[in-house]
Amino acid sequence: MVKIRLARRGRKKLAMYDVVVADARSPRDGKFIEKIGTYNPLTVPAAIELKDDRAFHWLMNGAQPSDTIRAVLSYRGILYKRHLQIGVNKGALTQEQADAKLADWVKAKQAKIQSKIDSAAKNKADSAKARKEAESKVREARAEAIRKKNEVAAAAPAPEETAPAAEEQA
């Protein structure tokens, strides 16, 4: 049995994965048949680089995806493409209809992904602006405290300077 699954790489707590086609009996990071992409779950949104045509080829030839890869393939529309292709093979619809449905789905999905990327960038910019404003308030408060301390010190005569002057007059 052939599986499409992840093979871990990267250092501790900074994992990246290769998407590989491997025999189900081989170990996770061991021998594989073909590397078809990479997956980095640490970015927002997760970075997925995948050879869609090769993944589709292996799915059509009976490769079974792992749970995570099934989600990735669904996210990329490869499972939907497989579903449509099976419909074409059975004669339920034509290849042109399937291609049009897939193109519409991909267009909608790209818009959704772009909005997610934009919102993540906006949230990052807003949090940076809030941190900068909080930092400037703290800086202004410190400057005000130092200014008040200097005013108090300038207004009150220094007792050390008056004491020696009194001793000199005596």
Question: Mean pLDDT per segment of 10 residues, for the chain of length 170 residues?
Answer: 94 94 92 95 89 94 95 93 94 92 94 90 92 93 90 75 57
Give the pLDDT of residue 113.
87
d(CA 40, CA 17): 6
Give the pLDDT of residue 154.
85
Give the pLDDT of residue 170.
55
Alpha-carbon distances of 117 from 21, 24, 102, 111, rounded to whole Å: 29, 35, 22, 10
Give the pLDDT of residue 44.
78
d(CA 89, CA 93): 8
CATH of domain 2-92: 3.30.1320.10
- CB proximity list for 1: less than 8 A, separation 6 or greater: 23, 24, 64
Give the pLDDT of residue 169.
61
Note the pTM of the prediction, 2 decimals. Answer: 0.70
Structure tokens at 133: 């404003």
The DSSP symbol for 51 reads -
Q: Where are the domains of the chain?
A: 2-92, 94-153
